[in-house]
Amino acid sequence: MSVDYAGLFRLDGKVALVIGAGSGIGQSAARALAAHGAYVVCADLNATAAAATADSIGEAGGRGESAIVDITREEEVSRLIRATASRHQRLDVAVTTPSINVRKPVLAYSAGEFDRVVSVNLKGTFYVLREAGRQMAAQGGGSIIAFASIRAQVVEPGQSVYSATKAGTVQVVRALAAELGPQGVRVNAIAPGVVDTPLTHQITQSPSWYRAYAERNALGRWASPDEMAGPVVFLASAAGSYVTGSLLFVDGGWTAVDGRFTPPL
- Residues with a known catalytic role: 162
Contact (CB, 8 A) for 104 and 148? no
Q: Would you give the distance in Å from CA 80 to the centre of its chain? A: 17
Task: Tell me the chain's radius of gyration from C-alpha atoms.
Answer: 18
Spatial distance between the Cα atoms of 240 and 143, rounded to a whole number of angstroms: 9
Spatial distance between the Cα atoms of 106 and 126, rounded to a whole number of angstroms: 24
**DSSP state, 15?**
E
DSSP for 158-186, written as a single string: T-HHHHHHHHHHHHHHHHHHHHHGGGTEE
Q: What angle do CA 235, 35, 146 make, to 5 degrees?
A: 30
